[in-house]
Amino acid sequence: MTRRGIETLVGLFVLAGFVAIGYLALKAANLAAMTVGETYLVTARFDNIGGLKPRAPVKSAGVTVGRVASISLDGKTFQGVVTLELEKRFAFPRDTSAAILTAGLLGDQYVGLNPGGADENLAADDTIKLTQSAVVLENLIGQMLYNRAAEGGGESKK
């Protein structure tokens, strides 16, 4: 092979490396699967959003149907207000419930939608009324330790 041919192959290899690094960077930043097409916004209020982040997936039956558009705090109720950007091709009933779930034991958090059975569908700027906050692992462990201590301290001595 000539020197020019080897240089061309090395250049192509380096270019492929840059493309792969760019793709991995987009996947890590959760930007690779942005929704394409028309969307509508709905909100949901949670007592505790845990580690939920903007751009986290919104899933129903394991299928990504949208993204978390924004997260804010309501100054009156002190609840987390999560704005969901759902694809228009997915029409959810008005009594759909939303829960903050975790992918695996220590994975990223996402919003899971469980469709209800109402005849009317959610429309733009509607609020999902039925919500379940995030389960915080530290709170569960603390509760378990507190219950164990209470069981041990409440026994009478003979």
Give the tens place of pLDDT for each residue, 55-71: 999 999 999 999 999 99
Residue with tokens 């709170």: 139
For residue 148, tell me if it sits in a domain. no
In this structure, are 79 and 135 located in the same domain?
Answer: yes
Closest residue by Cα to residue 89 from 55, 42, 38: 38
In this structure, are 18 and 59 located in the same domain?
Answer: no
Domain range for 132 is 39-143
In this structure, are 14 and 56 located in the same domain?
Answer: no
In this structure, are 51 and 105 located in the same domain?
Answer: yes
Q: With contact defined as beta carbons under 8 Å apart, do 84 and 72 qualify?
A: no
Q: How far apart are CA 121 and CA 137, in angstroms?
A: 34
In this structure, are 118 and 44 located in the same domain?
Answer: yes
Predicted TM-score of the model (pTM): 0.70
For residue 138, tell me if it sits in a domain. yes
In this structure, are 102 and 138 located in the same domain?
Answer: yes
Q: How far apart are CA 83 and CA 65, in angstroms?
A: 14
Residue with tokens 């760019």: 22
In this structure, are 47 and 99 located in the same domain?
Answer: yes
In this structure, are 7 and 73 located in the same domain?
Answer: no
For residue range 91-144, list pLDDT tens digits in order: 999 999 999 998 877 778 899 999 988 899 988 989 999 999 888 777 778 888
Could you write out the DSSP letters of every residue in 8-48?
Answer: HHHHHHHHHHHHHHHHHHHHHTT-TT---S-EEEEEEEES-
In this structure, are 1 and 79 located in the same domain?
Answer: no
**Domains in the chain, number:** 2
